[in-house]
C-alpha cells in the first residue's frame, strides 16, 4: 500500500512558535501585550525599503523569472560573487531539502550536532538518509574532536549553524576551516541564518578557499521578511547548477524577489536592528544573571535569541513554557523543539525592552513545585 512506503520517514513534524493571536485569544491578554519570543523574528517589522517595494509591486499577473535572476544578481553584487554562484528559495527550509537530495543518496549519512535546527534531521530521515548526531558538552559547548572524527567515508553532508541554534554560540572561522579541510570531498553546509546579529562578516569569504562549502542565509531574521519566505545559498557553480535543476520552476514570486532586492540596500535598517538587539541581549543576560539558583543563560549568545537553563529542579521546560504562556510570553520549549536538549532548557528571543521586562516579571512570578 502507498502508506507503507519507507520514504515516508519520520512521523515527527516541525513545531513552530505559537502566534500572538492564539495566546491573546486563549488567555485573554491584549494582543499588543503578548511577548512573542519563540520564532526569532525581527521585533521592528520588515525592512522599510522592502515593504515599500512590495506594497507597490506590479506584474503579479505574470509568471516570475524562474531563476530569480534580479535577486541572484543583487546577492552576487552584495557579497562579491557571480550570479551563477547563487540559488534562491522560499526560505532556507526549501533549499536544505534540495541539498540533501542532490548531494546524498538513500542510506548515506548526514552529520550534525545535537541539538540543532530540526529541519536538518527531519529532511534527512524523510529522504531515507541517516542523520549522525554528535552530542555537545556539559555546557552545550562544541565537541570539535568528536565532530571531526565523525566525518567518515559514508558521510556525504556536514551541517554547521553559525551562530548555533539553540545556543546562540558563535563558531570562529578558523574552526569552520578545520571542518572544511576534514570534509574534503564532502559538502559542508554553513547555515548563517542569524549571522548579522553576531556583528561579524560570517563565513562568506571562506567560499574563496573551499569548493566543498555552501553558505546559506535568509531574509526572515534581520530583514524582517519571514512572511515573504526568502532564502539563498552561495557556492561554486558546480554545486549551484545541479541545485537549479532540482528546484521547482517558479518557486520565487515577484513580491519575494522585489522585496529581497530592496532589503539588501537597507543597510541603515540592518545596523539599527543589530545594535538594538545587542543592547537588549546584554540587558536580558545581565538581568537573568541576577536570578542565581533559578535560571541561567548558556554561554555567551551572539544571536537574536539565547538559551535559558532552568537551574531550579522544581521546574521543567514544559511547565515553565505553559506558565509563561498564561502570562503572555511565547518561547520555545527545548524538549519539544530540539531533540537531545531535554527538559531543562528554553530558547527565548531577544526583543523590545517591554517584552524583555514582561519575560523577567513572569520568570520571577513562577514558583517551582516542591
How far is C-alpha 93 from the geometric centre of its chain's CA atoms?
A: 9
Cβ-in-10-Å burial (0-12, 13-18, 19+) of 245 comes to exposed
The average confidence (pLDDT) of the chain is: 94
Domain boundary among 209, 242, 266: 266
Domain at 342, CATH number: 3.90.1150.10
Residue 133 lies in a domain: yes
Whether residues 138 and 171 fall in one domain: yes
Residue 43 lies in a domain: no
Task: Answer whether residue 2 shows pLDDT above 50.
Answer: no
Task: Indicate the pLDDT class of residue 60, thresholds 50, 70 and 90.
Answer: confident
Domain boundary among 266, 291, 319: 266
Distances 268 to 8, 49, 257, 271 between C-alpha atoms, Å? 45, 10, 20, 5
- What is the pLDDT averaged over residues 223-243? 97
Task: Indicate the pLDDT class of residue 123, thresholds 50, 70 and 90.
Answer: very high
- What is the pLDDT averaged over residues 249-276? 95
Q: What are phi and psi of 314, to 5 degrees?
A: -80, -5
Task: Indicate the pLDDT class of residue 10, thresholds 50, 70 and 90.
Answer: low
Whether residues 356 and 313 fall in one domain: yes
Q: What are phi and psi of 68, to 5 degrees?
A: 55, 45
For residue 272, what are the domain limits?
A: 2-33+268-365
SS3 296: strand
Whether residues 324 and 260 fall in one domain: no
Residue 370 lies in a domain: no
Would you list the DSSP string of 91-104?
SHHHHHHHHHHHH-
Domain boundary among 266, 288, 316: 266
Q: What are phi and psi of 89, to 5 degrees?
A: -145, 175
Task: Indicate the pLDDT class of residue 5, thresholds 50, 70 and 90.
Answer: low
Domain at 66, CATH number: 3.40.640.10
Task: Indicate the pLDDT class of residue 104, thresholds 50, 70 and 90.
Answer: very high
Whether residues 212 and 332 fall in one domain: no
Share of the chain above pLDDT 90, in %: 89
Whether residues 193 and 302 fall in one domain: no
pLDDT in tens, 125-137: 999 999 999 999 9
Cβ atoms of 111 and 92 closer than 8 Å:
no
Residue 185 lies in a domain: yes
Whether residues 68 and 147 fall in one domain: yes
Whether residues 105 and 24 fall in one domain: no
Share of the chain above pLDDT 70, in %: 96
- What is the pLDDT averaged over residues 155-173? 98
Whether residues 72 and 181 fall in one domain: yes
Cβ atoms of 233 and 216 closer than 8 Å:
yes
- What is the pLDDT averaged over residues 320-340? 95
Residue 40 lies in a domain: no
Residue 39 lies in a domain: no
Whether residues 262 and 320 fall in one domain: no
Number of domains into which the chain is organized = 2
Please tell me the predicted confidence (pLDDT) of residue 55.
Answer: 85
Greater model confidence, 2 or 362: 362
Amino acid at each position: 500500500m502507498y502508506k507503507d512506503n519507507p520514504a515516508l520517514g519520520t512521523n515527527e513534524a516541525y513545531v513552530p512558535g505559537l502566534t500572538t493571536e492564539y495566546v491573546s485569544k486563549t488567555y485573554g491578554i491584549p494582543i499588543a501585550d503578548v511577548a512573542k519570543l519563540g520564532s526569532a523574528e525581527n521585533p521592528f517589522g520588515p525592512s522599510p525599503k522592502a515593504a515599500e517595494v512590495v506594497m507597490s509591486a506590479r506584474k503579479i499577473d505574470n509568471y516570475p523569472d524562474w531563476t530569480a535572476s534580479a535577486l541572484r544578481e543583487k546577492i552576487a553584487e552584495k557579497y562579491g560573487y557571480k550570479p551563477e554562484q547563487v540559488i534562491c528559495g522560499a526560505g532556507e527550509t526549501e533549499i536544505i531539502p534540495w541539498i540533501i537530495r542532490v548531494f546524498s543518496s538513500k542510506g548515506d549519512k548526514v552529520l550534525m550536532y545535537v541539538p540543532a535546527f530540526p529541519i536538518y534531521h527531519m529532511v534527512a530521515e524523510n529522504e531515507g538518509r541517516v542523520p549522525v548526531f554528535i552530542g555537545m558538552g556539559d555546557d552545550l559547548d562544541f565537541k570539535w574532536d568528536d565532530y571531526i572524527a565523525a566525518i567518515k567515508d559514508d558521510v556525504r553532508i556536514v551541517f554547521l549553524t553559525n551562530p548555533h541554534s539553540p545556543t546562540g554560540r558563535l563558531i570562529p572561522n578558523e574552526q569552520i576551516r578545520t571542518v572544511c579541510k576534514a570534509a574534503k570531498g564532502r559538502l559542508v553546509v554553513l547555515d548563517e541564518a542569524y549571522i548579522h546579529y553576531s556583528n561579524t562578516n560570517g563565513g562568506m569569504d571562506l567560499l574563496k578557499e573551499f569548493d566543498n562549502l555552501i553558505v546559506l542565509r535568509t531574509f526572515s531574521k534581520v530583514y524582517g521578511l519571514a512572511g515573504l519566505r526568502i532564502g539563498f545559498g552561495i557556492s561554486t557553480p558546480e554545486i549551484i547548477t545541479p541545485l537549479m535543476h532540482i528546484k521547482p520552476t517558479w518557486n520565487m514570486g515577484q513580491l519575494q524577489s522585489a522585496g529581497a532586492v530592496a532589503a539588501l540596500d537597507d543597510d541603515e535598517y540592518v545596523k539599527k536592528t543589530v545594535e538594538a538587539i545587542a543592547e537588549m541581549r546584554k540587558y536580558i543576560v545581565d538581568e537573568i544573571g541576577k536570578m542565581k539558583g533559578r535560571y541561567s543563560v548558556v554561554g555567551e549568545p551572539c544571536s537574536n535569541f539565547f538559551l535559558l537553563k532552568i537551574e531550579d529542579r522544581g521546574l521543567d521546560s514544559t511547565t515553565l513554557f505553559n506558565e509563561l504562556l498564561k502570562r503572555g510570553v511565547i518561547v520555545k520549549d527545548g524538549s519539544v523543539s530540539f531533540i537531545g536538549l531535554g527538559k531543562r532548557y528554553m530558547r527565548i528571543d531577544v526583543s523590545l525592552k517591554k517584552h524583555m521586562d514582561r519575560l523577567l516579571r513572569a520568570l520571577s512570578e513562577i514558583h517551582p513545585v516542591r
